[in-house]
């Protein structure tokens, strides 16, 4: 299984927003920090905004910010928006109905357990967990001011 670039950059954009001390991030700045185009990010962030994980502020001084507290947004929340499906094999789909093993197939059960474990782990990590060193992340991403005074 390999996650799409959309998923990876969506998570990165949320990390950026969570680490941003000003609370409002411009797509241009997110793109610059991660070396991707504004158009690519915009394409990714539209569905993230529709889902409520990001809030979009229009206008000259607009941008994006988290749509919920960082500790309430899990990695799995993001992946549910950005990935088409999580089928690990055709066996998880109706396409496998022709398989002669049918109900005797343990492979499908193993894949189901693996997917449950994958989901459980990614539901246990929040965006806040990914920016637990907020000042370090902010400095790495090039923010001029730190999120909390020392």
Place of tokens 């962030």: 45
**Whole-angstrom distance, CA of residue 101 vs CA of residue 136:** 53
Please indicate, yes or no, whether the overall pTM of this predicted structure exceeds 0.75.
Answer: yes
Residue with tokens 């005074």: 149
**Domains detected in the chain:** 5-140 (1.10.10.10)
Alpha carbon distance 63, 133 (integer Å): 23
- Percent share of the chain, pLDDT over 90: 59
Each residue of 21-68: pLDDT tens digit?
Answer: 787 999 999 999 999 999 999 999 999 999 999 999 988 888 999 999
User: Tokens in use for 50?
Assistant: 């529709």
70, 18 in Cβ contact below 8 A? Answer: yes
Q: Is the confidence at residue 87, as pLDDT, over 80?
A: no
């Amino acid at each position: 299984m390999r996650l799409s670039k959309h998923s990876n950059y969506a998570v990165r954009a949320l990390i950026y927003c969570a680490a941003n001390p000003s609370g409002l991030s411009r797509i241009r700045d997110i793109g610059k920090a991660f070396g991707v185009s504004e158009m690519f990010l915009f394409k990714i962030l539209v569905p993230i905004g529709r889902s409520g994980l990001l809030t979009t502020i229009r206008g000259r001084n607009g941008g994006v910010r988290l749509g919920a507290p960082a500790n309430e947004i899990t990695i799995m929340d993001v992946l549910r928006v950005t990935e088409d499906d999580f089928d690990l094999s055709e066996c998880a789909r109706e396409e496998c109905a022709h398989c002669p093993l049918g109900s005797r197939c343990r492979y499908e059960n193993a894949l189901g357990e693996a997917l449950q474990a994958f989901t459980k782990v990614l539901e246990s990590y929040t965006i806040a967990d990914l920016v637990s060193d907020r000042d370090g992340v902010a400095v790495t991403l090039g923010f001029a001011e730190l999120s909390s005074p020392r």
